Amino acid sequence: MLIEQPLSLYIHIPWCVEKCPYCDFNSHALPHKNSNKENGLPEQTYVEELIKDLDSDIQRFNLGERKLHTIFIGGGTPSLFSADAIESLLSQVLSRFDYDKNIEITLEANPGTVEAEKFIGFFNGGVSRLSVGVQSFESDKLIKLGRIHNSQQAKDAATLADSCGVKSFNLDLMHGLPNQSIENALDDLKTAISLNPSHLSWYQLTIEPNTAFHSKPPKLPKDETLWNIQDQGFELLDKAGYQQYEISAFSKENYQCQHNLNYWQFGDYLGIGCGAHGKITDAKEQKIYRTVKVKHPKGYLDQTREHLDHLNEVDKDELPFEYMMNRLRLFSSFTLNEYHQATGLSSEDILPTLNNAKGKGLMENQGTSWRVTQQGHRYLNDLLEMFL
């Protein structure tokens, strides 16, 4: 039987100073400053619309009694907003839910858009976790990636995140960058480790459709170099005390990102803000719904239209792939009963595919518990295709 899943909230703030050439997220260049909008951003108006959006979802899915598990404010560049705006947003959100006093509340920040007082302001406003988008510590690589900060600003932002009062902070770091050698990539990683973040997101640059890099692809390292970067990088992270718990996520003990874990474990989440996606389980009706909000800020802020752009029930035939697409990113095992409770589907139906994957060396099991093998993580796309 399909049962109620932990509920998280994702809040999307779509503005950036500039659009990076590799980015396929829903982000928009910062509007020009004018006398009516502080920093060129419609902060107060956007916060008001976010709360209206949230209230609509609460009513739509009858969520008044659901406990809130985590909050993640992403973008875009949420750190462009003032600490006062973030505090106002969070206080209004939390007034609508039951939640633990130690709830994880993450805010994404980019070096170059923050200073000490602002990080402290975010903390005082309720943020308990910061995620800093460093990407690289090499100035030439940052320029190629279209980043607005330099190497020193990246290091300064990490130091500020570590000292402002939040319980933990993450550094986002890329590898496989244009013309990047193994030594360059590992030096970047060593620098990140030296800053002692409680969490590291270390992932390979990929060229996505509808990006500037897709139109004019840069020269990326060869596959052999990429494999060597990963293998040696994993060793560095392990020796430094970082446990890999997901394809690109590494943490010190007990510092896993609870919000992302809820995604990967096929939990529920509301998505509010421009283009935000949501997934909600209705245990009473035995249905799973997905939502998508209006993508462009102009449309989202148009008070003559609703924020919801699309709502659909997930077809039962799609659930095995949807569950595995998330769950198989993790290094921990899952049980057949967890699969049944998260999807409402019989675990017997998925067993032939699991056993087939086991025969190919991509998965392994102990009783009713299953996990991806090292080979399965290396060829994850091939593994996932088996569940289509």
Q: What is the pLDDT of residue 345?
A: 97
Q: What is the pLDDT of residue 116?
A: 67
pTM value > 0.85: yes
In degrees to the nearest 10, what's the CA dihedral of 305, 15, 6, 64?
-40
Evaluate whether residue 171 is within a structural domain: yes
The pair of three-digit structure tokens given for residue 328, joined into one six-digit string: 């198989």
Q: What is the pLDDT of residue 112?
A: 81
Compute the average pLDDT of residues 169-184.
96
Say yes or no: 154 and 239 in one domain: yes
DSSP designation for 15: E
Instruction: Give pLDDT tens digits for 6-55.
Output: 999 999 999 998 889 889 889 988 865 443 344 679 999 999 999 999 99
Alpha carbons 165 and 127: distance in angstroms, whole number: 9
Q: What is the pLDDT of residue 183?
A: 97
Evaluate whether residue 305 is within a structural domain: no
C-alpha radius of gyration, the chain, whole number: 21
Q: What is the pLDDT of residue 30?
A: 81
What integer best gives the mean pLDDT of the chain?
94
Evaluate whether residue 290 is within a structural domain: no
Predicted confidence (pLDDT) at residue 262 exceeds the cutoff of 80: yes
Predicted confidence (pLDDT) at residue 114 exceeds the cutoff of 90: no
3-class state of residue 385 by DSSP: helix
| CA-closest candidate to residue 281, choices 332, 246, 323, 310 | 323
Alpha carbons 216 and 381: distance in angstroms, whole number: 25
| CA-closest candidate to residue 39, choices 89, 84, 80 | 80
Determine the structural domain holding residue 183 and report its residue range: 7-262
Instruction: Give pLDDT tens digits for 306-323.
Output: 999 999 999 999 999 999
Say yes or no: 167 and 243 in one domain: yes
- Lowest-confidence region among 20-34, 168-182, 183-197, 314-328: 20-34
CATH number of the domain to which 230 belongs: 3.20.20.70
* 47, 89 contact by CB (below 8 A): yes
Burial class for 94, CB neighbours closer than 10 Å (0-12, 13-18, 19+): middle
Structural domain tally of the chain? 2
Q: What is the pLDDT of residue 115?
A: 72
Say yes or no: 200 and 345 in one domain: no
- Lowest-confidence region among 120-124, 147-151, 246-250: 147-151
Biggest CA–CA distance in the chain, Å, is 65
Of all residues in the chain, the percent with pLDDT exceeding 90 is 88
Domain boundary among 232, 262, 292: 262
Domain boundary among 230, 247, 262: 262
Q: What is the pLDDT of residue 34?
A: 43
CATH number of the domain to which 375 belongs: 1.10.10.920
Q: What is the pLDDT of residue 55?
A: 98
Instruction: Give pLDDT tens digits for 98-110.
Output: 999 999 999 999 9
Say yes or no: 241 and 334 in one domain: no
Compute the average pLDDT of residues 152-156.
93
Evaluate whether residue 173 is within a structural domain: yes
| CA-closest candidate to residue 191, choices 219, 152, 223, 243 | 152
Evaluate whether residue 16 is within a structural domain: yes
Say yes or no: 374 and 253 in one domain: no
Say yes or no: 117 and 43 in one domain: yes
Compute the average pLDDT of residues 252-256.
98
Q: What is the pLDDT of residue 36?
A: 38
Q: What is the pLDDT of residue 31?
A: 65
Compute the average pLDDT of residues 293-302.
97
Compute the average pLDDT of residues 112-120.
81
Please report how the helices 151-163 and 116-124 are oriented relative to each other, as an axis angle in degrees rounded to 10: 40
Q: What is the pLDDT of residue 64?
A: 86
H-state helical runs in the chain: 43-60, 83-94, 116-124, 139-144, 151-163, 182-194, 212-215, 223-239, 258-264, 297-300, 319-327, 336-343, 347-359, 374-378, 380-385
Say yes or no: 325 and 242 in one domain: no
Instruction: Give pLDDT tens digits for 65-100.
Output: 899 999 999 999 999 999 999 999 999 999 999 999
Say yes or no: 66 and 200 in one domain: yes
